[in-house]
């Protein structure tokens, strides 16, 4: 995706579509209407229609018959000027890109000088909305598809290197989101642990970060009993992916991101219902997010050290699969009783959280499609956030607010530990239906080292049941923008 800044009169921009933002506030509405009609006189009739109100989500487009270099001009409403946020422009740009840009490879947005956010934050939000809203997963379609948007221009009135840099950075972050979406949308017959590792290697080569992939023999040597147990039922061997971006000083302790990489989850012996099991190809969305984040961080050359860890396996039923009642020993020597083989994500994360201690991290954040309980509690809009360090949790909340990748903090009161008590092992891998997202996080807490830790449950936000403002049904890529924002502010 190309994204750039251009100083020009809107009518002189060469693009398939030129889009103006229209506020609902009367005085600004009149001024913007006059400006549009001055630039595109032949569009006056269409843009003076009753539909062109500036109300949030409204959209009007028309072909232009004058000497403009563009084929169409469009207006998208953003609502009341006094309530505008970055998310307002993000969603409006996505609406415009989808409706005006269908089959059009290029689109230009006229930067609204009246935006209360300032020029660069507004441009960043517009690029994010247009690019993310134009995403389509067409990898396996054999018929001809409409042309996809591949060129976004922000049109302004004054030259600015900072503006150009902000636009390019926004596009790079969106590339990371695209990587996460593509990986999480791929089917289990094409994306399994070994091929996930290959995709991670390609991302590393393209962006310039270091990568190691541990095979089953190495995983056995490390005594990662959680990852090995979940893998027992699969003919596909597990992998453990270690990615490193060293943008900070040699002595700077890294931030470690851990992503759950269950490339297909049947539930194992505790098998899931057949209905919607196909969606479990996305049970590695946490891994996809971490890979996409490392790509974006490295491409942006952020001055910080970041490590990404991905334990990857399938969870399959077979004669060799692990069973309810089994007791497994993890890398840190602790034991867990298996109450339900469909609570597998926490088992592979446990070993990764233990391994993370080797990096003497400033902080560790894991991200996972971990529990259906989190979907029940927070739906598909908000991710669950838990952890042991107030400063880290506040950093994540600030990044979530800035990116509109919403989070809600859930408590980790010790009283909940009673639910995952085992009579025969150190801990049990499930705690029943009540507070399932919380007890899953408390299970993970048994395996963290001496570092600040946070856990993001994206079971609801990673998998969209229908199209959203700037995402499509399926994988959302949630977490990439949040993580990059968190790391930029570190």
pTM for the full model? 0.97
| Predicted local distance difference test score (pLDDT) of residue 38 | 85
Q: What are the structural domains, with CATH classification, of the chain? A: 2-157 (3.40.220.10), 175-488 (3.40.630.10)
Mean pLDDT of 110-130: 97
- Give the helix/strand (H/E) hosting 436: helix 436-445
pLDDT tens track for 323-377: 999 999 999 999 999 999 999 999 999 999 999 999 999 999 999 999 999 999 9
346 is catalytic: yes
- Supply the pLDDT for residue 67: 66
Between 423 and 69, where is the model more confident? 423
Q: What is the pLDDT of residues 222-269, one digit of tens each?
A: 999 999 999 999 999 999 999 999 999 999 999 999 999 999 999 999
Among the residue ranges 93-107, 188-202, 285-299, 435-449, the one predicted with the least confidence is: 93-107
Pick from 449, 220, 229: nearest CA to 336? 229
Mean pLDDT of the 154-172 span: 97
Catalytic: 445? no
C-alpha distances in angstroms, 417 versus 103, 368, 427, 435, 442? 54, 21, 9, 11, 7
> How does the average pLDDT of the chain come out, rounded?
96
Catalytic, out of 99, 272, 334, 488: 272
Q: Give the DSSP letter string of 197-214.
A: HHHHHHHHHHHT-EEEEE
DSSP H or E run through 169 = helix 161-185
- Please tell me the distance from the alpha carbon of residue 330 to that of residue 222, in angstroms, as a whole number: 10
Model confidence band, residue 66 (pLDDT cutoffs 50, 70, 90): low
Give the CA-trace dihedral at 130, 133, 134, 136, to 10 degrees.
160
Candidate list 90, 281, 346, 428, residue with the active-site label: 346
Label residue 159 exposed, middle or buried (CB < 10 Å: 0-12, 13-18, 19+): exposed
pLDDT above 80: residue 143: yes
469-484 mean pLDDT? 98
Q: What is the pLDDT of residue 103?
A: 67
């Amino acid at each position: 995706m190309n994204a750039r800044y251009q100083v020009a009169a809107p009518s002189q921009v060469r693009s398939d579509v030129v889009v103006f933002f229209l506020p609902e506030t009367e005085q600004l509405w009149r001024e913007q209407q006059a400006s549009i009609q001055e630039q595109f006189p032949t569009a006056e009739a269409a843009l003076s229609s009753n539909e062109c109100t500036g109300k949030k989500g409204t959209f009007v487009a028309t072909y232009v018959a004058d000497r403009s270099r563009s084929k169409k001009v469009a207006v998208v409403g953003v609502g009341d000027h006094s309530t505008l946020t970055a998310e307002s422009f993000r969603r409006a740009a996505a609406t415009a890109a989808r409706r005006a840009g269908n089959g059009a490879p290029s689109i230009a947005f006229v930067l609204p000088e009246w935006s209360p956010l300032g020029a660069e934050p507004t441009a960043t939000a517009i690029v994010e909305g247009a690019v993310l809203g134009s995403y389509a997963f067409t990898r396996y379609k054999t018929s001809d598809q409409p042309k996809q948007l591949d060129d976004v221009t922000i049109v302004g009135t004054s030259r600015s290197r900072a503006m150009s840099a902000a636009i390019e950075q926004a596009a790079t972050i969106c590339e990371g989101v695209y990587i996460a979406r593509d990986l999480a949308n791929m089917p289990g017959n094409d994306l399994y642990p070994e091929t996930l590792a290959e995709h991670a290697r390609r991302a590393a080569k393209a962006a310039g970060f270091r990568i190691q992939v541990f095979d089953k023999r190495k995983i056995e040597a490390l005594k990662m009993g959680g990852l090995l147990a979940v893998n027992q039922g699969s003919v596909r061997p597990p992998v453990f992916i270690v990615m490193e971006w060293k943008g900070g000083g040699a002595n700077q302790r890294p931030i470690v991101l851990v992503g759950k990489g269950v490339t297909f989850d049947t539930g194992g012996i505790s098998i899931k219902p057949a209905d919607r099991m196909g969606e479990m190809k996305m049970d590695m969305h946490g891994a996809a997010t971490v890979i996409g984040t490392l790509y974006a961080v490295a491409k942006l050359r952020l001055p910080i050290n970041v490590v990404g860890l991905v334990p990857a396996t399938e969870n399959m039923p077979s004669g060799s699969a692990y069973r309810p009642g089994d007791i497994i020993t993890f890398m840190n020597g602790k034991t867990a009783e298996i109450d339900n083989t469909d609570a597998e994500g926490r088992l592979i994360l446990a070993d990764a959280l233990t391994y993370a201690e080797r990096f003497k991290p400033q902080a560790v954040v894991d991200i996972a499609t971990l529990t259906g309980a989190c979907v029940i509690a927070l739906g598909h809009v908000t991710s669950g956030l838990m952890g042991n360090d107030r400063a880290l949790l506040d950093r994540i909340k600030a990044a979530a607010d800035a990116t509109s990748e919403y989070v809600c903090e859930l408590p980790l009161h010790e009283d909940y530990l009673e639910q995952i008590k085992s009579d025969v092992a150190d801990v049990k891998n499930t705690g029943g239906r009540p507070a399932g997202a919380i007890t899953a996080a408390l299970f993970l807490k048994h395996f963290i080292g001496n570092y600040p830790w946070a856990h993001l449950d994206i079971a609801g936000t990673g998998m969209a049941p229908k199209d959203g403002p700037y995402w499509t049904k399926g994988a959302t890529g949630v977490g990439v923008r949040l993580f990059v924002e968190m790391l930029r502010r570190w």
